[in-house]
Amino acid sequence: MANVFDINGNVKGKTELPRVFNAAVREDLVQRAVLALQAAKRQSYGSDVLAGKRTSAKYHGVKDTRGSMKNREVSRGPRVTGGAPGQEWRIKFVPHAVGGRAAHPPKVERELILKMNRKENRLALASAIAATALREVVAARGHRLPDAELPLIITDDVEKMKKAKELLDVLQKLKLWQELERTSVSKIRAGRGKMRGRKYRTKVGPLIVIAKDEGIVKAASNIPGVSVSTVPALNVELLAPGAKPGRLTIWSEGAIKQVGERFG
């Protein structure tokens, strides 16, 4: 049994948890499932098949042929015939030449998808759900937890929140203000990502799982670190960001019922 809180942070009653919350936490399966999801998002890429090959350079190293490089005391690479002053007989085309082709360029036909069995993927999702009810696992991720027992379950009234201010007030009444302070701090990313549209990094905060969206998705979109998902859209990456299970999760009563129907 677990406590059910109302939007004022008071205990309204109790509910029975589905059996999926008693599943074993398999971190190995969770990691594989997250990597498979991330791999599915990748787009195939490759270089131009003619890059570095658009040249008239020919190999002149064959003995007793016109223009042979034999006995000329020069390397027998493919060379351009003639050329501009200072560019005469430059080696082209080969990978070690200036402006030559790449030795092993990325190819579009490369297989980027990581396959995972359906039953293993389902077990990984069950493990990620069960990890949200283990206090020591959630705390190990760095979340600031309230004194209440996990998992945090709230009435379906939270699904009707349509403004970020209203949802923030509910989260603070659930004594999650320390967690909100933790996720409100962003830092500048190290490396080239600053130049590629992802300058700032924000910490991952609570996940709110609902049965039906009645405005809460828009309300939570302006709160740093807070995510909202319905039960059908729930996946391992949402419950275990970075392939590490134990994200602080807030469940609505309707979501708990749906989880029980889907997983038992």
Which of 154, 152, 150, 144 has the alpha carbon at shortest distance from 8? 154
User: What is the sign of the dihedral through the CA atoms of 36, 38, 41 and 47?
Assistant: negative
**Paired residues of 228 in beta bridges:** 208
Residue ranges of domains in the chain: 2-42+113-263, 46-111
| SS3 category, 194 | helix
Task: Write the CB contacts of 191 (distance below 8 Å, at least 6 apart in sequence).
Answer: none
Cα distances (Å, whole numbers) of residue 117 to 11, 114, 186, 215: 41, 10, 37, 35
Q: What predicted TM-score, i.e. pTM, was given to this entire model?
A: 0.84
Could you tell me which CATH number the domain at 2-42+113-263 has?
Answer: 3.40.1370.10
pLDDT value at position 247?
96
pLDDT value at position 87?
81
* Locus of tokens 């203000």: 177
pLDDT in tens for each of the 264 residues of the chain? 899 999 999 999 999 999 999 999 999 999 999 999 999 999 999 999 999 999 999 888 777 777 777 787 888 889 888 778 888 889 999 999 999 999 999 999 999 999 999 999 999 999 999 999 999 999 999 999 998 889 999 999 999 999 999 999 999 999 999 999 999 999 999 999 999 999 999 999 999 999 999 999 999 999 999 999 999 999 999 999 999 999 999 999 999 999 999 987
pLDDT value at position 237?
96
Task: Write the CB contacts of 198 (distance below 8 Å, at least 6 apart in sequence).
Answer: 189
Task: Write the CB contacts of 125 (distance below 8 Å, at least 6 apart in sequence).
Answer: 33, 234, 235, 236, 239, 263
Secondary element (H or E) of residue 19: none
